[in-house]
Amino acid sequence: MTEKKHVRKFLLTRPTIGSVTLSAIVGLYLALFTNFTFWKKVHAYLGFEPGAVIALYIAIITLFIAATTLFSAKYVIKPVLIFLIIAAAMAAWFTDSFGVVIDTDMIRNAMQTTPSEAQHLITPGLLLHALLFGLVPVALVLWVRVVHRPIMQKLLWNSVTVIACLAVFSVAALVYSKAYTTAIRTHRDLVKTLNPVVAIVSTAKYFVQAGQEAAIVVTPLGLDAKVSTPAGPTTKPRVTIIVAGETARAQNFSLGGYDRETNPELKKRDIVYFPNTTSCGTATATSIPCMFSQFTRSNYDHYKGLANEGLLDVLSRAGVDVAWFDNNTGSKGVADRVTFVDLAKSTDARFCSGGECQDGVFLDKIDEWLSNVKKDSVLVLHQMGSHGPAYYIRYPEAFRKFKPECMTSELGNCKDSEIVNTYDNTILYTDYFLSTVIDRLKSRSGTMATSMVYMSDHGESLGEKGLYLHGTPYMFAPEEQTRVPFFVWLDQDFQKSMMVDMACVAQSRTQPMSHDNLFHSVLGMMNVTTKAYDQKLDLFSGCVSRKSS
């Protein structure tokens, strides 16, 4: 018999396996081979008590076997097991490679991402991982012939297996319950990495929330809003550009003390930088709508953000011209009711390739917009900024200052120092971009009073504590993901129109700031009066000379 015939016979001779046995094998595989991060944390947090670690292995394995056995039924077992294997394999890649937690916010980010953004995550490493930990196990499940008992025997055998597993789980968990409770309370990230449980539960929650959000009717805000007469004399239109930064972290801004010169241009401009600023979230889908809402981080949730109008609506209702220029994945609902221009789809070869653009694509459009300003106006620029993991494509050749760089989206193939170099080059380019925007505004000083506000949406992990990228749940997110750069620049005429003492503002620069301040500070800057305004959250309010009544 030829070798080919032997192979063909082997493939056609499908081995048989009992349904409960297959369920147990898959449960064991999921518990041990798709949970490397979880077990790594278990050993780190409970390693001082070996008995607790062993008991937890027993508890988790029996729990997974009980869960897979629940689906041990004809026509159901293979589809469910295949789904669990694929879900676990994909979630494990991102958890193990980047340290991310697949919670509801992360699922929302994934659902809102664009094809061009997603392509940077589809790397050779991901494909190899998917093959070894997903497709190969799936092929084996498809290959074997599952033997099912008669229905009554199946019900009895499955029930006995599930009950026995749950009994073992309960005993193992109860013996060391104090150790587990302490570990979970102290290290809240532990349970969040259990795969594929967290990913599946988070996905289900996302779709439930999406169904509820589809029926939202947006509540108007600031119905009483109006632009009052500026405190100081001015006859010029008052113009503010708000730059919503992307993935810029405060730790890498030399304006805040970073030992590398990443802000050589901004330091030459007369800005006030606030080094102690925190974000509302750790991902764009949360931070952008939160920072433009009237809610503080402690009062904000995704539903509220969608169900209520925000800063741009109030400004527009007051009579201010408002526009949003986007070079990212959209405004997340913030600009749904104002002028929206999507520059991410630009084909300008100077800045764009592969369906994405560097932030230089904004500059000509800013000039066009400024040339058409007739009255008080606000323009929001939503940057691509420092979005990873493809940091190396976020800046032109001229900004490749820090070397060697990580010239791939496969961060696992780069040293942390190379990743930091590449990231710092994105900040260097953002420095150039922001200073250029300021210069564009300065050049219009003869016809308008101008200002700029820059605030990043969230930070980024670059290997600290084994974490990369962003999106870690806020409750245990590192400060690299929650401390963001924030500064303001006002030209002389804008300062006079507000009667604000910028020296006074500068003196308060070290005070804690956050996304909570944006809504109210911009209303104050644009002289918009409304009951939605909270003077306590306006960073300028303590430095403004009020007109005598």
Q: Is residue 221 part of a domain?
A: no
Q: Which domain holds residue 9?
A: 3-212
- Which CATH number fits the domain that encloses residue 471? 3.40.720.10
Indicate whether 142 and 286 sit together in one domain.
no
Which residues, at least 6 apart from 297, have a Cβ–Cβ distance to it below 8 Å?
A: 278, 280, 281, 290, 514, 515, 516
Number of domains composing the chain: 2
Are 139 and 258 part of one and the same domain?
A: no
CA distance 142 to 158: 21
> In angstroms, rounded to a whole number, what is the distance separating the alpha carbons of residues 540 and 272?
11
Q: Does some domain include residue 230?
A: no
Pair (185, 246) in one structural domain: no
Q: Tell whether 79 is covered by a domain.
A: yes
Query: Based on the domain organization, do 206 and 346 belong to the same domain?
Result: no
78 belongs to a structural domain: yes
**Claim to verify: residue 394 and residue 271 sit in the same structural domain:** yes
* In a shared domain, residues 111 and 75: yes
Residue type, 238: R
* Alpha-carbon gap, residue 347 to 354, rounded angstroms: 9
Residue type, 222: G
Same domain, yes or no: 197 and 328: no
Indicate whether 225 belongs to any domain: no
Q: Which of 64, 61, 49 is nearest to 176 (CA)?
A: 49
Which amino acid type is present at position 119?
Q
Give the pLDDT of the chain (549 residues) as one tens digit per residue: 566 666 666 556 789 999 999 999 999 999 999 999 999 999 999 988 999 999 999 999 999 999 999 999 989 999 999 999 999 999 999 999 888 888 888 888 888 877 777 788 888 999 999 999 999 999 999 999 999 888 888 899 899 999 999 999 999 889 998 888 888 888 888 888 999 999 999 999 889 888 888 888 899 999 999 998 776 677 899 999 999 999 999 999 999 999 999 999 999 999 999 999 999 999 999 999 999 999 999 999 999 999 999 999 999 999 999 999 999 999 999 999 999 999 998 999 999 998 899 999 999 999 999 999 999 999 999 999 999 999 999 999 999 999 999 999 999 999 999 999 999 999 999 999 999 999 999 999 999 999 999 999 999 999 998 999 999 999 889 999 999 999 999 999 999 999 999 999 999 999 999 999 999 999 999 999 999 999 999 999 999 986 543
